[in-house]
């Protein structure tokens, strides 16, 4: 593989902001690969797992579909399709309430809870492989900086804000 010409090697980034963004993107790619491998073994996506995790936090209550979509770590343009796949596997159930038939509420089934229980140790181990090499102070600094970078772009009502 040939190296870039010397003129390109001098200036790798247009700005410090671009360098930081591209570093975030590359880091996300590397860390996500470990997560994708884990969830693929269970025929899940990271986003489906995230939805199930949020439903577990609300369990035994059911959550409005749009409320769930708003709380996901990353946007889900087709929350209905994401939830259809989980429902088809018997991991969640849906209900339309008589007082408002337009709103669909979703909740975990016992099979969904069992799958989350089965995944718990594997997910914890995955996170350790991803970031366990950082010292506690470094982890806190990383979390604080990521929150600070994201804050102007979060909706005020977001749980992440």
Q: Tell me, yes or no, whether 15 lies in a domain.
A: no
Span 82-94, average pLDDT: 96
Span 83-92, average pLDDT: 96
Question: Which tokens in the block code for residue 127?
Answer: 């996170």
Q: Tell me, yes or no, whether 13 lies in a domain.
A: no
Q: Tell me, yes or no, whether 136 lies in a domain.
A: yes
Residue 34, Ramachandran bin (φ over 0: left; ψ between -120 and 50: alpha; else beta) = alpha
- pLDDT of residue 129 exceeding 90, the answer is yes
Domain CATH number, residue 111: 1.10.10.10
Q: Tell me, yes or no, whether 123 lies in a domain.
A: yes
Q: Tell me, yes or no, whether 95 lies in a domain.
A: yes
Q: Tell me, yes or no, whether 111 lies in a domain.
A: yes
- pLDDT of residue 6 exceeding 70, the answer is no
Q: Tell me, yes or no, whether 5 lies in a domain.
A: no
**Counted domains in the chain:** 1
- What domain range includes position 134? 30-153
d(CA 155, CA 104): 23
State residue 78's pLDDT score.
Answer: 87
Q: Tell me, yes or no, whether 25 lies in a domain.
A: no
């Amino acid at each position: 593989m040939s190296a870039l010409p010397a003129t390109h090697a001098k200036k790798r980034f247009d700005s410090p902001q671009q360098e930081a963004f591209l570093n975030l993107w590359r880091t996300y790619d590397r860390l996500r690969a470990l997560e994708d491998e884990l969830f693929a073994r269970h025929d899940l996506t990271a986003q489906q797992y995230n939805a199930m995790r949020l439903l577990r936090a609300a369990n035994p209550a059911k959550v409005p579909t749009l409320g769930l979509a708003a709380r996901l770590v990353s946007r889900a343009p087709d929350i209905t399709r994401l939830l259809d796949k989980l429902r088809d596997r018997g991991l969640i159930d849906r209900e339309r309430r008589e007082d408002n038939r337009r709103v669909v509420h979703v909740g975990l089934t016992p099979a969904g809870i069992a799958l989350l229980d089965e995944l718990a140790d594997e997910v914890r181990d995955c996170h350790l492989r991803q970031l366990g090499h950082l010292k506690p102070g470094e982890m806190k600094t990383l979390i604080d900086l990521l929150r600070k970078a994201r804050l102007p772009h979060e909706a005020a009502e977001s749980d992440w804000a």
